[in-house]
């Protein structure tokens, strides 16, 4: 396993494949955050299944809208599609089509960006009820499909592992803010 840098040492890392040494996009590197919430799973589910809620806490994700006919009311389901809007100081603004891969009300909500068969990234919320409390886990992985990261790697292939490590750190920070925000909202309304 590749050596972690000091700034990576406290960030949990995951790999859908590998990891290689050095880490590469094909390894599909990712991360996760987890928080215990003093609120029932039903309340937490209401929050995590709102595709716009993470925009309240993320420095990058600014919002989303269901594609016509998808996700209206109770229409959110596996196979539904939404368009996410993002902003990053180094990249600018962009939109990414996302496809719901997992939709198990009260348990899991996950989506793939760009292409469901070759995603640029995968994102997922998982809930575990512990009675009146809920454990919320938010995870993601990058690749293997095309994305802004794959373009950066193509431009600087000798820096692939550093590009990926930096991007995982950025995502982890936004994810941590998001789950803490969800925790605050859920506990305030319980």
Say yes or no to pLDDT of 153 above 70.
yes
Q: Are 16 and 30 in contact (CB under 8 A)?
A: yes
Mean pLDDT of the chain, nearest integer: 89
Across 143-147, average pLDDT: 92
Statement: residue 54 has pLDDT above 60: yes
Question: pLDDT tens-digit profile of 69-100?
Answer: 655 544 578 989 999 999 998 888 999 999 99
Domain boundaries, the chain: 11-58+107-188
Indicate the pTM of the whole model.
0.89
Beta bridge mates, 63: 85
Confidence of residue 9 (pLDDT cuts 50, 70, 90): low
**pLDDT tens-digit readout, 22-31:** 898 999 999 9
What is the separation, in whole angstroms, between the first and last Cα of the chain?
A: 43
- Tell how strand 14-15 and strand 29-37 pair up: antiparallel
Lowest mean pLDDT among 11-25, 72-86, 110-124, 170-184: 72-86
Residue 2 has pLDDT above 50, yes or no: no
Homologous superfamily in CATH for domain 11-58+107-188: START domain (3.30.530.20)
Residue 11's pLDDT is 87
Q: Are 120 and 99 contacting, i.e. CB atoms less than 8 angstroms apart?
A: no
Quote the CA–CA distance of 144 and 24 in Å, as a whole number: 10
Where does residue 134 rank: exposed (0-12), middle (13-18), buried (19+ CB within 10 A)? buried
Reduce the DSSP state of residue 36 to 3 states and report it: strand
Query: How far apart are alpha carbons 148 and 151 in whole angstroms?
Result: 5
Confidence grade of residue 16 (pLDDT, cut at 50, 70, 90): confident
- The pLDDT score that the predictor gives to residue 128 is 97
Cα separation of 123 and 41, whole Å? 19
DSSP string, 140-163: EEE-SS-SHHHHHHHH-GGGHHHH
Residue 158 has pLDDT above 90, yes or no: yes
């Amino acid at each position: 396993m590749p050596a972690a840098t000091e700034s990576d040492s406290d960030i949990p890392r995951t790999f859908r494949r590998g990891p290689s040494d050095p880490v590469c996009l094909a390894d599909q590197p990712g991360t996760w955050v987890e928080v215990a919430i003093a609120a029932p799973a039903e309340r937490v589910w209401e929050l995590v299944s709102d595709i716009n809620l993470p925009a309240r806490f993320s420095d990058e994700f600014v919002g989303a809208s269901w594609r016509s006919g998808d996700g209206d009311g109770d229409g959110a389901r596996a196979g539904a599609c939404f368009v996410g809007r993002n902003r990053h100081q180094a990249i600018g603004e962009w939109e990414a089509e996302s496809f719901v891969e997992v939709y198990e009300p009260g348990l899991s909500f996950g989506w793939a960006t760009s292409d469901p068969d070759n995603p640029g990234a995968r994102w997922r919320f998982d809930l575990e009820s512990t009675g009146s409390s809920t454990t919320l886990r938010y995870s993601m992985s990058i690749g293997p499909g095309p994305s802004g990261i794959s373009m950066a790697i193509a431009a600087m292939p000798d820096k692939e592992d550093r590009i990926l490590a930096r991007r995982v750190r950025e995502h982890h920070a936004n994810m941590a803010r998001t789950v803490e925000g969800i925790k605050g909202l859920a506990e305030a309304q319980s």
